[in-house]
C-alpha cells in the first residue's frame, strides 16, 4: 500500500522536475540568442521572455536576474570548453604536443562559437574590476566562473611549466601571455581582420605555439 501510494507522488515530482528543466532550457537558449544579438548590457528580461515564449513571471523563479542567466550559460560553455581541452590533450604525447593540442582545442572551441566568445569576454573584462564586472553577479558566482576559466587553462599551464622547468610565477606569466594571444587571435578571426594580410588565425596560432615550444625547450 505504501509503495502504491507513493508512486503517483513520485511520478508527479518527476514530471514537475522535467517541466522545470524544459522551461529552464528554453529560457537559456532564448537568452543565448538575445545576448548574441543585443549584447548582455542591452538585453532585457522582457526580450528574453518573448524569445522563450513565456512571461517574465515565469523566468524569475528560475533566474532572479539576467546576470543569473548569463552565469548559467557561461558555466555550461566553460564546462564544454574544459572537456574539449582535456579530450585533445588525452590524445597527445609529450608536453610540446599537449600544449599544442590543448591550446588549439581552446582556440577552436571559441572559433566555432562566436556567441560564446561574447559571453566569455564579459567575464574576462570584469575578472578583476568591480566597475566592469557583470552587475548582479555575487562575488561567489564571479569567483566560481573565473575558477572554471582557470581550469580550462590549467593543462596548458602544466605543459608550459614542464617544458621550460619554470617557477610558479613564470608559469603564471607564460599562461597569461598565451591567454592574451588566444584572445587576440579570436578577435582577429571573428572580425576577419587577417584576410587582407593573407593569413588565418589558425596558421598564426600554430606558428606562435611552435616558436613558444622551441623557446621554452631552449631555455
pLDDT for 7 equals 54
User: Has residue 131 got a pLDDT over 70?
Assistant: no
Taking the whole predicted model, whether its pTM rises above 0.85 is answered as no
For residue 70, give the nearest of 8, 136, 131, 163 by alpha carbon. Answer: 136
DSSP 79-132: HHHHHHHHHHHHT--SHHHHHHHHHHHHHHHHHT-HHHHHHHHHHHHHTT-TTT
Handedness of CA 85, 87, 90, 92 (dihedral sign): negative
75 neighbors 148 (Cβ within 8 angstroms)? yes
User: Has residue 3 got a pLDDT over 70?
Assistant: no
pLDDT for 92 equals 84
Retrieve residue 113's grid coordinates: 562559437
Report the distance separating Cα 71 and Cα 73, nearest Å: 5
Report the distance separating Cα 41 and Cα 61, nearest Å: 21
Q: Across all residues in the chain, what is the average pLDDT?
A: 87
pLDDT, tens only, 33-72 = 998 888 788 889 999 999 999 999 999 999 998 889 999 9
pLDDT for 210 equals 97
Residue of higher predicted confidence among 182 and 12: 182
In the chain, what are the domains? 1-64 (1.10.10.60), 66-218 (1.10.357.10)
Confidence tier at 186 by pLDDT (50, 70, 90): very high
For residue 189, give the nearest of 213, 207, 205, 176 by alpha carbon. Answer: 205
Retrieve residue 41's grid coordinates: 548590457
The alpha carbons of the chain give a radius of gyration, in whole angstroms, of 21
Residue of higher predicted confidence among 16 and 180: 180
Amino acid at each position: 500500500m505504501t509503495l502504491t501510494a507513493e508512486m503517483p507522488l513520485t511520478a508527479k515530482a518527476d514530471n514537475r522536475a522535467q517541466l522545470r528543466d524544459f522551461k529552464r532550457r528554453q529560457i537559456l537558449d532564448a537568452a543565448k540568442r538575445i545576448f548574441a544579438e543585443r549584447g548582455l548590457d542591452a538585453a532585457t528580461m522582457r526580450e528574453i521572455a518573448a524569445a522563450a515564449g513565456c512571461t517574465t513571471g515565469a523566468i524569475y523563479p528560475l533566474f532572479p536576474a539576467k546576470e543569473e542567466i548569463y552565469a548559467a550559460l557561461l558555466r555550461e560553455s566553460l564546462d564544454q570548453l574544459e572537456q574539449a581541452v582535456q579530450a585533445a590533450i588525452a590524445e597527445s604525447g609529450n608536453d610540446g604536443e599537449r600544449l599544442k593540442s590543448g591550446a588549439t582545442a581552446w582556440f577552436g572551441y571559441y572559433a566555432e562559437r562566436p556567441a560564446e566568445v561574447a559571453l566569455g569576454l564579459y567575464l574576462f573584462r570584469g575578472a578583476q574590476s568591480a566597475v566592469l564586472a557583470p552587475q548582479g553577479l555575487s562575488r561567489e558566482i564571479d569567483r566560481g566562473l573565473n575558477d572554471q576559466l582557470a581550469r580550462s587553462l590549467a593543462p596548458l599551464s602544466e605543459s608550459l611549466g614542464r617544458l621550460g622547468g619554470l617557477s610558479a610565477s613564470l608559469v603564471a606569466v607564460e599562461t597569461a601571455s598565451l591567454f592574451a594571444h588566444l584572445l587576440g587571435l579570436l578577435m582577429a578571426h571573428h572580425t576577419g581582420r587577417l584576410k587582407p594580410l593573407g593569413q588565418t588565425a589558425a596558421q598564426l596560432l600554430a606558428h606562435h605555439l611552435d616558436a613558444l615550444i622551441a623557446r621554452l625547450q631552449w631555455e
